[in-house]
Amino acid sequence: QVQLVQSGAEVKRPGASVNISCKTSGYTFTTYYLHWVRQVPGQGPEWMGEISPSVGTTSYAQKFQGRVTMTRDTSTTTVYMALSSLRAEDTAVYYCVRILTGSGDTGQFDHWGQGTLVTVSS
């Protein structure tokens, strides 16, 4: 079955960077784009960006441009999301998600990682 397994919770100081991994299994890694979505406690999810596992191209939400970097390792079917210059407002649960964009699909996120809590505090 499809699985997205993320790395564990992180505590960071303001100004630091965080790098979260998302190990995929149960499907052909290069077939589906992977996205990152974050959720501040008590708020709706927020889209951060996407990566093509096959060629590595990325697209980021304007809000995170310059601070976020998404990469992938095809040998381990893992994607990574790095966020720099962290501030308290970046405290959130970060999810990697798989998207369906085939015929009949509408860009829905069909599988989600379990989430990684990042706490930014001095």
Partner 1 sequence: DIQMTQSPSSLSASVGDRVTITCRASQSVSRYLNWYQQKAGNAPKLLIFGASSLQGGVPSRFSGSGSGTDFTLTISSLQREDFATYYCQQSYSTFTFGGGTKVEIK
Which residues are at the interface with partner 1 (CB under 8 A)? 35, 37, 43-47, 61, 95, 100, 104-110, 112-115
For partner 1, the closer of residues 80 and 109 by Cβ is 109
Contact indicator for 17, 85 with CB cutoff of 8 Å: yes
Residue 16 or 61: which CB sits closer to partner 1? 61
Smallest distance, partner 1 to C-beta of residue 47, A: 4
Q: What DSSP letter does each residue of 65-118 carry, written as one string? A: TTTEEEEEETTTTEEEEEE-S--GGG-EEEEEEEEE-STT--SEEEEE---EEE
Give the length of the chain: 122
CB of 100 to partner 1, least distance (A): 8
Q: Closer CB to partner 1, residue 32 or residue 95?
A: 95
Helix (H) or strand (E) holding 93: strand 92-100
Report in angstroms how near the CB of residue 17 gets to partner 1 at its nearest: 24
CB of 118 to partner 1, least distance (A): 15
